[in-house]
């Protein structure tokens, strides 16, 4: 179950990662980690596919700020208007939280796919009024904090 104290980050999607880092950094007064370039297995409206994602976190946190490079025709596509994308939270059980949120009328937009073809530890859900939520397995909390502190690149 999502608890307020488990809110981990607020994310923005930018058409250009560097420009997004500059604007968000200037507005909110944050410094950035080294950007990561990831290939993720994603299940979404087009099925299971590999997508490349570039992402950076603020060094300040938690509550971290995240900037994502837009990926066309995906959950990370840049939309007109606000670039505010989602609120990220850690949960104990991603699959159970997906089920709970779907029961509340949230629609599953995309989810990570692990090597076994099952959930890869994260998912995006969106409701008619609430901002998109990214639920993430709580086991990743420490790694993110180490990345943000500069311990790992």
Q: How many other C-beta atoms can be found within 10 angstroms of the C-beta atom of residue 74?
A: 18
Collect contacts of 17-26 with beta carbons under 8 A, ≥24 apart: 17/54, 17/56, 17/67, 17/68, 17/69, 20/67, 20/68, 20/69, 20/83, 21/56, 21/67, 24/65, 24/67, 25/58
Mean pLDDT of 53-60: 95
Would you place residue 131 in the very low, low, confident or very high pLDDT band (cuts 50, 70, 90)? confident
| pLDDT at residue 151, rounded to an integer | 76
108-129 confidence digits (pLDDT tens): 999 999 887 777 789 999 988 7
Tally the C-alpha atoms within 13 A of residue 15's C-alpha that lie toward its C-beta. 4
Mean pLDDT of 104-108: 93
Record the pTM: 0.86
- For the chain, which domains are there? 4-148 (3.10.180.10)
Would you place residue 147 in the very low, low, confident or very high pLDDT band (cuts 50, 70, 90)? confident
Alpha helices in the chain (DSSP H): 17-28, 94-103, 141-148
| pLDDT at residue 21, rounded to an integer | 96
Whole-angstrom distance, CA of residue 34 vs CA of residue 58: 10
CB 67 within 8 A of CB 85: no
Ranking 47-56, 97-106, 107-116 by mean pLDDT, the lowest is 107-116
């Amino acid at each position: 179950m999502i608890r307020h104290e488990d809110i981990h980050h607020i994310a923005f999607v930018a058409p250009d990662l560097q420009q997004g880092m500059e604007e968000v950094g200037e507005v909110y007064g944050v410094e950035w980690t080294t950007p990561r370039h990831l290939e993720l297995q994603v299940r979404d409206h087009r099925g299971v596919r590999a997508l490349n994602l570039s992402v950076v976190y603020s060094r300040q946190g938690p509550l971290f700020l995240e900037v994502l490079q837009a990926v066309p025709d995906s959950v990370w596509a840049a939309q007109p208007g606000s670039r505010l994308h989602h609120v990220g939270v850690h949960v104990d059980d991603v699959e159970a939280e997906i089920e709970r949120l779907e029961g509340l009328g949230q629609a599953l937009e995309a989810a990570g796919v692990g090597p076994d073809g099952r959930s890869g530890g994260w998912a995006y859900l969106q409701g008619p009024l609430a901002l998109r939520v990214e639920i993430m397995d709580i086991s990743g909390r420490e790694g993110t904090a180490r990345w943000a502190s500069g311990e790992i690149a």
